Structures are given as structure tokens and as C-alpha cells.
Amino acid sequence: NAGVTQTPKFQVLKTGQSMTLQCAQDMNHEYMSWYRQDPGMGLRLIHYSVGAGITDQGEVPNGYNVSRSTTEDFPLRLLSAAPSQTSVYFCASSRNLAGLHANSPLHFGNGTRLTVT
Amino acid sequence: ELKVEQNPLFLSMQEGKNYTIYCNYSTTSDRLYWYRQDPGKSLESLFVLLSNGAVKQEGRLMASLDTKARLSTLHITAAVHDLSATYFCAVENKLIFGTGTRLQVFP
């Protein structure tokens, strides 16, 4: 069982470059989300999706785009990287956050450590 | 805007001692989650609390939820070194996380 798979594990970008962080889950989860983790600030929600074709903004969406064309994949795009985006990025998924599957916690990927110089 | 606050942010405790981590949140929510993160690792789910008065226990950890007070606690009983990690609470409503409590248990 692969669970939530994130690639790459490490990435170094120059300011202004763009890139896509990949996230895939094989649990048929409807809900997927992206967080960034910075020292002393916990995890902050960037974007989330409640199902294929549906995305919404979280706490810190600026500078990031997402799409959800399939249930399995939820890529995060950095449009023009900035040093302030240096962070560890986690993708997570869950069956659902409401209704019948309320007992489902988030399953996290192993993270992508991004450095922007 | 939902705010989730944990305290303390850092906790250094001796093996065998008891302590409680607090998680306060600012808006109504019936569900709260606790996670553990080891250094350099991903997050692991510990507890899912689904209603007011919910209490769950696993080993030396016990979590409770008071939705009226908007407060959850994570109680550590007779701490051991293996519990050293960072603990996060997260509130439903897009799963907003607290800043985490870094726990260090020393002999």
C-alpha cells in the first residue's frame, strides 16, 4: 500500500523559476490538501480539494496553484519561486472530512523539502 | 478566521512525570485531531475526537475534547523517552493546525 506519494523529496530552485510538486494517493480518497511547514509556525494550509474538479484556497494560497483532474493526483505549482517559499511541503489525503466518513484522519506524504535561492 | 493555539510550545520533562498539552481553538468545531511528528519525518495520526466529551487513550497518551470550551487536552502519563516528538492538534473546518508542542523527555 503506497498511501500518499510525494515527489521530489528535495528540490533547489532559483528565484523566479517555476516547478510542480507532485502528489498521488492510491486510497481513493476524495479530500486532498497541501500544507507548508516552517519552523515555529506549524503547518499552514495552502490549497485543498474535496473531489476531482473542485479546489479551494487555504490559509496561505498566494504564489501557488493547484488542480484536481483526477481523484488520485493533486499537484502543487509554484508559478515564480521566491525565497519566502523555502519550506517543507506536505500533501495529505482523507476519505472525507464530513458526513459518513467523519472518523477519517489525514494521511500524510513524506514531504518535499524545497529551497529557493 | 479560525485560530488554533497550543501551549506550551516547548516542553522538557523528566521520565516518569505527567504533563498536559493544551489546544484552544477560536470557532465552533465538533471534531479535533491529534498528530505526532518525529524530527525530519511526516505526521502520524494519534487520535480523532468526534464529539463533546470524547476521550481516547493509547498507551501513555490520553486526549479529550470539550467543544463548549473549545479546548482539547493531550495528557501524558509517566513519560518515557520514546514520546519525544512534536505534537500537533488540528481542528476540522479545512483542518487547520496548531503551531505544535515540541516535547523532549529526558532521563
Q: What is the pLDDT of residues A34-73, one digit of tens each?
A: 999 998 778 999 999 999 999 999 999 999 999 999 999 9
Give contacts of A109 with chain B, Cβ < 8 Å: 42
Query: Model confidence over B11-21: pLDDT tens digits?
Result: 999 999 999 99
**Whole-number Å distance between alpha carbons of B54 and B93:** 18
Q: Are A49 and A71 in contact (CB under 8 A)?
A: no
What are the φ/ψ torsions at residue A38 (nearest 5 degrees)?
-120, 150
Question: Which residues face A13 on adjacent strands?
Answer: A116
Q: How far apart are the first and last CA of chain B?
A: 41
Give the closest-approach CA distance of B92 to chain A in angstroms: 7
The chain B residue lying nearest A4, using CA atoms, is B42
Query: Model confidence over B31-84: pLDDT tens digits?
Result: 899 999 999 999 999 999 988 888 999 999 999 999 999 999 999 999 999 999
